[in-house]
Structure 1
Amino acid sequence: MTASLPTAGTRRSRAVLLTVTCLGQFMVLLDNTIVGAALPDMQHRLHTQLTGLQWIVDAYVLLVAMLLLSGGIFADRFGRKRVYLAGVTVFTVASVLCSLAPSAGWLVAGRMLQGVGAAALSPASLALLASAHPVPQERVKAIGLWAGISGIGLAAGPVAGGVLTEAFGWPAIFLVNLPIGLILLLVGVRHLDESRNPNAPAIDIPGTVLSVLAVGALTYGLIEGGAVGWTSPVILGSFTAAAVLLAAFVVVEARSSAPMLPLRLFRQRLFTVSNAAMTVVGFALMGSSFFFSQFFVYVQGSSILRAGLQTLPVTLAMVLVSPYAGRLAARHGFRVVATSGLALAGLGLLTLGTVHADTAYGNVWWRLAAVGVGFALTLSPLTGAAIQSVTPQEGGLASGVSSTTRQIGAVLGVAVLGAIVRSRQAGGASFETGIDNAFFAAGAVTLVTAAVTGLWLTGSHPTAPSPTEAARALPKEDPAFGDAPVQGDRG
């Protein structure tokens, strides 16, 4: 039986839906890269040190990483429209609170609330879009538009952050979310249709709580260790607590009938290696990006606006190259493309470790572009490899786990590379030397991972799934780099 053609009203409603979901994801992605440009101004006006800046970034990423999988399940169980609008509301209110923060501590609290909103908004927006396009081919096209349009937020962030911060100060980067959020709420309440999956799995509350506490305790120890002392009781206690909580998480997930992270998936070598590599991608990309604007402002003496423009090659390269990574993987295999991307990104980070105060920008931008191109080549193939290692019915879950591991890597990257910079400064080295060492460390870890994927990411040439399987297992975008899962019903 042939499918009926969509009516004009249906086309209009789908156009509104696509606009609303794209704009919501655009806002979330914009907030990732826009903050980096404002970090120097935050440090100056809030009188905070490197540790405070790390928390401003990691508080957001930590909550997104730990709640992303649960956000998709919430949307399926309680209504995608309801969860989407709730996420928009929380994110918008949190953005206003961030703009009004009188201290770094208050800003960190606001960023945590933003993370909660993003973890609900992002997967719900994609679930709404998928459920409105039941035909696989139409769904793939709609998700492609959603990913491409909303992904512009990544590239716009550094420029918008530099312009707004230079003109009005760092609070303006959060206030820009207010009109967007209000538009989304007004249009969404009137025009979005509700949908849900009555067969969605139960929410793994113990697993979610333990994962947040475990990664939070580890992050606290890594960020505060340089300031408090690595052998101090509070730091040793945080690392011990992280180990105990992680062990408890493993036990709970192994016994749960509906775990947020099914441990059995890691019995597949392809799944384990691809997710381990994805963790390193988050670690190296987010950890190094944390220092890009700070390098240009504090080491090379650029203005905040100019620094925002100078960091643009990374995100621009990712936006331009990412759409082609999947095609290259389909032709040459996941292993070849992912390994090449990791090697290019690792070499780019190593060359950034040799940049100094007097290095001309003409000799810097191509290093940043190499990092962006390299990581753009890894994201889709590594997610695709993880999806191929499981059954088609578990494709969405595998994509979600891949997104989560990358976000965890991002949290640890900011914490660990920041600890390297602080340790070098504590030893008498300059801030420039500390940043160079951080870039070297990120590059070395990325190159080692390239070697690992080259050796162990075997059996990873893409197969040709049916259109239904392709739509079901399609990698999704997330708030940090572009991939978020849709849990349960996908239309």
Structure 2
Amino acid sequence: MTTHTLPADSSRRRAGLVLAVCCLSLLITALDTTAVNVALPAVGRDLHAQVSGLQWTVDGYTLAVAAFMMLAGSTADRIGRRRVFQAGLALFTAGSLACSLASSLGWLITFRVVQGLGASMLNPVALSIITHAFPDPRERARAIGLWGTTVGLSLAAGPVVGGFLVASAGWRSIFWINIPVGVAALVFTAVFVPESRAATPRRPDPVGQVLVVTTLTALICAIIEGSRRGYTSAPIIGLFVLSAAAAAVLPRYERRREQPVVDPAFFRSVPFTGSFVAAVAAFVVLSGFLFLNTLYLQDVRGYSALHAGLLTAPMAVGIALASPLSGRLTATHGPRPPLVAAGLLITTATLALTTLTPTTPWALLLTAYVLLGIGFGLVNAPITSTAVAGMPRAQAGVSSAITTTARQVGNNLGVAVLGAIVAARTRAPVHAGFAAASHAGWWTLAVCGLVIAVTGLAATTRRATATAARVAARFPAESVPSVSSTPRVRRGAQA
């Protein structure tokens, strides 16, 4: 009996260390996403950036993540998940160092893109590593729940940590913090994370990847630059047409490929499609809220970056409380209750902000922040669980990458669309008219909350679940995963 118990305990400990390393990578990428928002006014003053420049500071990063995440997932399944994960950590850490040294807005945006390329290799690959490290469905569900909790907590802590760093050491310090954490994650990955690959390697799909990049890049460029150049100008109309054309060609081309970078068959699963839509809507809310609220608190209400970060702490508390609850609710009652509750709470919070003025009472603001935090905290676990559970393990890298890409698409759209709405209504964020100009943005976020609630109802019916089973049956099972049983270091100890 002892000989069977010890290896099982050792395997659990090793899986727990793998989970810790993956959560560490998620921590720095998610923290960086939200922390930068608090620094935007300081970046604008130091580098003389307009609203569109601030949008690109955020969207340069998230656009690179969204555009290349699916490529990273399929590449990791083919050449090795640990190898791609390590490359992502190295690139993200180097990009963080370069961002901290940027001498102009153009260089900062360029280095943010480098950061984004590194981050695109981390989160979906890490989720795939977790899926293979926990073969037992119950343990895997708990691990994914902890992963979702890490998402919520790191995103919530970003504004507070960012505000503290900006106030104490300037906006460049936001990028310094990534460097020691990234180096530590690299070391731990080499020691604890086993290599793994899909049993059937996926072939590259360069045309599909180009179509994905074209669709997203042209769309975001058109939205951001349209507020400055005019949406009826020829270049902006051309970008919209280019994005629409690439989006129309993509599924038609991918259907003819045996191993596409984006398999349209995945979207025949209603739960998978629902998780994609809910992820986009949820992260439109988060990124849009952080962008508008940061400018409102600092440029309209006159608070420092530190005070602005601390004032959003109620949202962080809401996320911290709701994230673990969401994991338990999803495990015991399924994804419907947390998704519907999240959508309704987000809608209520953002509707309260549609009357925002330069003197809005703090009781209203703090109540909205708490409700928004609870709503967002509830949404991550059911999205992740639904997306991964509906797909075969052989497609873990690509399916998780698509859903994580949806989050980044939401991040892109939130900043691009809401920034464009505000820029079209006021020339400068510091003007008192910014509060009124943001009303349309808050209405947009309220609609996103309703989308999440409706999706939670529609994607969790028995008929919807049956579509997921039919899609999973289309793919061959990964009967013998090509996974190293031991980490590269400490192999002798395991023997």
* Cα deviations by residue, 1:35-74 (Å, 9 ceiling, x for unpaired): 1111111111111011011111111111212222222222
Task: Give the equivalent residue in structure 2 for 1:164.
Answer: 165
Distance 1:277 1:181, change over 3 A: closer
Contact 1:41 1:170 in 2 (8 A): yes
The 10-residue stretch of structure 1 (102-111 or 313-322) with the greater mean CA deviation from structure 2 = 313-322
2:462 pairs with 459, 464, 472, which one?
Answer: 459
Task: Give the equivalent residue in structure 1 for 2:62.
Answer: 61
2:441 is aligned with 1:450: no
Query: Matched residue of 1:81: which SS?
Result: helix
2: CA distance between counterparts of 1:318 and 1:56? 25
Q: Summarize the alignment of residues 114-129 of structure 1 with structure 2, pairs less than 5 Å apart.
A: 114-129=115-130
Q: Summarize the alignment of residues 101-112 of structure 1 with structure 2, pairs less than 5 Å apart.
A: 101-112=102-113
Query: Matched residue of 2:6: which SS?
Result: coil
1: CA distance between counterparts of 2:394 and 2:316? 33
1: CA distance between counterparts of 2:394 and 2:252? 25
1: CA distance between counterparts of 2:79 and 2:460? 38
Distance 1:19 1:444, change over 3 A: closer
Q: Summarize the alignment of residues 279-298 of structure 1 with structure 2, pairs less than 5 Å apart.
A: 279-298=280-299
Q: Percent identity?
A: 37
Query: Matched residue of 1:111: which SS?
Result: helix
Task: Give the equivalent residue in structure 2 for 1:212.
Answer: 213
TM-score normalized by the length of structure 2: 0.84
> Which residue identity is paired with 2:232?
T
1:185 is displaced (CA, Å) by 2.9
Q: How many residues align?
A: 469
Task: Give the equivalent residue in structure 1 for 2:367.
Answer: 366
> Which residue identity is paired with 2:376?
F
RMSD (Å), alpha carbons:
3.2
1:87 is displaced (CA, Å) by 0.9
Task: Give the equivalent residue in structure 2 for 1:33.
Answer: 34
Task: Give the equivalent residue in structure 2 for 1:71.
Answer: 72
Distance 1:234 1:260, change over 3 A: same
TM-score normalized by the length of structure 1: 0.85
Task: Give the equivalent residue in structure 1 for 2:204.
Answer: 203
Task: Give the equivalent residue in structure 1 for 2:436.
Answer: 433
* Cα deviations by residue, 1:332-352 (Å, 9 ceiling, x for unpaired): 554444233212201211112
Extract unaligned runs of 5+ from structure 1.
470-487
2: CA distance between counterparts of 1:15 and 1:330? 19
2: CA distance between counterparts of 1:13 and 1:143? 16
Contact 1:26 1:151 in 2 (8 A): no
> Which residue identity is paired with 1:371?
L
1:376 is displaced (CA, Å) by 2.7
Extract unaligned runs of 5+ from structure 2.
473-480, 485-495
1: CA distance between counterparts of 2:141 and 2:460? 27
> Which residue identity is paired with 2:301?
Q
2: CA distance between counterparts of 1:171 and 1:385? 38
Q: Summarize the alignment of residues 333-348 of structure 1 with structure 2, pairs less than 5 Å apart.
A: 334-348=335-349
2: CA distance between counterparts of 1:325 and 1:142? 13
2:7 is aligned with 1:6: yes
2:44 is aligned with 1:49: no
* Cα deviations by residue, 1:107-151 (Å, 9 ceiling, x for unpaired): 111111111111112233344444445555555555555554575
1: CA distance between counterparts of 2:239 and 2:446? 28
Query: Matched residue of 2:212: which SS?
Result: helix
Distance 1:221 1:156, change over 3 A: same
> Which residue identity is paired with 2:48?
H
Query: Matched residue of 2:27: which SS?
Result: helix
> Which residue identity is paired with 2:49?
T
Task: Give the equivalent residue in structure 1 for 2:279.
Answer: 278
